[in-house]
C-alpha cells in the first residue's frame, strides 16, 4: 500500500508539472487527444513508459518501433518474441491495477472492446493517462495505428505503415473481384464446436479473402454448432483456427475426415491457420488475410507484398 501511495504521489507530481507548463505559457507535447470513448488525455512529452492492455496493442506499438518504451503487457502478448522479457499486468479482461501502478507508466493504451471499465477507471483515478482504441475491423485497426502513432510521436512511421497495409489490402480485394465465393466454416474451438458470426474480425477476413462465412447470420458472435448443423449446411471449406499442439490438431483433422459427405472433406479442403494471425487486429492481420486467400483461392497466384 505504501508503494501504491508513492506511485500515486509521483503521478500527481506529473499532473502538477503539466499544469505549470501551461501556466508558464509553454507549449505542451499534446493538449487534448480524445480516444474512442470520448476520454481526453494530455501528455507533457512523448510517453516513455507505456503499458499495453491487449496483445493487439502490443503488436501495434512494436510495429511503430516503440518496443524500448513498453514497460508492461498482458498475459497473452507473445509477439514479437521480445515481449517475453516484459512484465505482465494480468489478462486484458482482468487487469491488475496494482501491477500497472508499480510499473510507473506515463501512458496506458487499452481497447474499448475488452478491457474492464472499472479497471480503466481505477487507473485514471491514479492520474495515469489512459488512451483507448477499438480495432475490431481492419479499417478501425488502421485508424488505431494512426492514433497511437500521434500520441507516441510516431505519426510519420504510422502513416508509412498504414499506407503499406492499405496497399496490401487493396491488392487482395482486387484479386477477389468476380471470383466464386465458397462456403467456409471457421472452427475456433472443438469441444463444443465454436465458430464466428458476421460481427467478427475473422468473418471479415473470410469475406475479404473471397469466401462466404457459413455462420455469418448468427445472432451471437461466437455460436456453438452441433455436428448435425454442419452436416446440414455443407461447408465447402473447413478452416481450424488453433494454437494447439500437433497431436491434438491431427486428432481434430481426423475427426472431420470421418464425414466424407461434407464437400470440404470430399474435396480435401481441410486447413489450419494460426489463430493469432486472424484474431488480433494488428499489422500481422494482413498476413492472416493473405493466408486465408491462399486457402480459399489456391488457384490464384498472389504477390501483394509484405509489411515490415
Please give the model's pTM, rounded to 2 decimal places.
0.87
Contact 217, 210 (CB under 8 A): no
CA-to-CA distance for 200 and 281, rounded, in angstroms?
A: 11
Residue where the block lists cell 484479386 = 175
Instruction: Note the pLDDT of residue 250.
Output: 74
Q: Residue 20: which pLDDT band, with cuts at 50, 70 and 90?
A: very low
Q: Can you give 58-83 as a three-state secondary structure string?
A: HHHHHHCCCHHHEEEECCCCCCCHHH
| pLDDT > 50? residue 26 | no
pLDDT in tens, 186-213: 999 888 999 999 999 999 999 999 999 9
CA-to-CA distance for 201 and 29, rounded, in angstroms?
A: 34
Contact 144, 59 (CB under 8 A): no
Where would I find the H helices in 177-215? 201-208
126 burial (CB, 10 Å; 0-12 / 13-18 / 19+) is middle
Residue 187: closest CA among 136, 249, 115, 260: 249
Amino acid at each position: 500500500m505504501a508503494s501504491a501511495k508513492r506511485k500515486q504521489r509521483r503521478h500527481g507530481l506529473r499532473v502538477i508539472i503539466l499544469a505549470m507548463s501551461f501556466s508558464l505559457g509553454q507549449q505542451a507535447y499534446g493538449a487534448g487527444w480524445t480516444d474512442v470513448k470520448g476520454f481526453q488525455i494530455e501528455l507533457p512529452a512523448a510517453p516513455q513508459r507505456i503499458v499495453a492492455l491487449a496483445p493487439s496493442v502490443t503488436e501495434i506499438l512494436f510495429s511503430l518501433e516503440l518496443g524500448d518504451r513498453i514497460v508492461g503487457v498482458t498475459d497473452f502478448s507473445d509477439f514479437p518474441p521480445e515481449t517475453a522479457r516484459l512484465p505482465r499486468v494480468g489478462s486484458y479482461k482482468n487487469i491488475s491495477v496494482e501491477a500497472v501502478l508499480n510499473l510507473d507508466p506515463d501512458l496506458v493504451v487499452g481497447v474499448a472492446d475488452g478491457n474492464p471499465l472499472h479497471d480503466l477507471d481505477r487507473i485514471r483515478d491514479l492520474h495515469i493517462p489512459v488512451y483507448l482504441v477499438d480495432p475490431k475491423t481492419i479499417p478501425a485497426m488502421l485508424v488505431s495505428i494512426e492514433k497511437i502513432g500521434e500520441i507516441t510521436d510516431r505519426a510519420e512511421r504510422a502513416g508509412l505503415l498504414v499506407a503499406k497495409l492499405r496497399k496490401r489490402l487493396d491488392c487482395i480485394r482486387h484479386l477477389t473481384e468476380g471470383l466464386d465465393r465458397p462456403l467456409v466454416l471457421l472452427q475456433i474451438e472443438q469441444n463444443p464446436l465454436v465458430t464466428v458470426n458476421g460481427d467478427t474480425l475473422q468473418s471479415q477476413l473470410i469475406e475479404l479473402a473471397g469466401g462466404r462465412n457459413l455462420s455469418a447470420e448468427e445472432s451471437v458472435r461466437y455460436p456453438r454448432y452441433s455436428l448435425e448443423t454442419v452436416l446440414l449446411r455443407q461447408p465447402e471449406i473447413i478452416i481450424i483456427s488453433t494454437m494447439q499442439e500437433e497431436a491434438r490438431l491431427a486428432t481434430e483433422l481426423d475427426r472431420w475426415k470421418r464425414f466424407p459427405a461434407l464437400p470440404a472433406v470430399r474435396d480435401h479442403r481441410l486447413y489450419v491457420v494460426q489463430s493469432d494471425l486472424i484474431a488480433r487486429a494488428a499489422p500481422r492481420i494482413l498476413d492472416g488475410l493473405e493466408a486465408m486467400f491462399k486457402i480459399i483461392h489456391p488457384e490464384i497466384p498472389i504477390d501483394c507484398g509484405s509489411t515490415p
